[in-house]
Amino acid sequence: MPEAVEGTWYGSPAFRVKGKVFARLHENDRDLFLIKVGRLERDALVETQPERFMTTAHRPEKEDSVLMRLSATRSSDLPEVAELLDTAWRRVAPADLVARVDRELS
């Protein structure tokens, strides 16, 4: 993901673009990976795959992220994970960066 950088957030590994976090390991449970996918996508994932996805404990009605349980994620799920990370990156990346990437891909 262009201009994505790895760092930390609350002491856990995190990925940012232009200073905004789009994915990170949960600070208290290293089996949980937070991905900023948006509320509609979050709700669909939690409803259809509750063994893998859940909402965050704090203010779930306002949260745009989903928690993915790593231990319930198989290698065959990696294309879906890549798509979720792309969605998350696009949600937080500046519009001009997203547009530039889309132009380069087409």
pLDDT tens by residue, 2-55: 999 999 988 899 999 999 999 999 988 889 999 999 999 999 999 999 999 999
Mean pLDDT of 51-66: 81
Helix (H) or strand (E) holding 97: helix 95-105
Q: Which CATH number applies to 4-95?
A: 3.90.1150
Cβ atoms within 10 A of the Cβ of 11, count?
9
Q: Where are the domains of the chain?
A: 4-95
- Looking at residue 10, its pLDDT comes to 85
Mean pLDDT of 91-102: 96
- CA distances (Å), 38 to each of 21, 42, 100, in order? 13, 6, 22
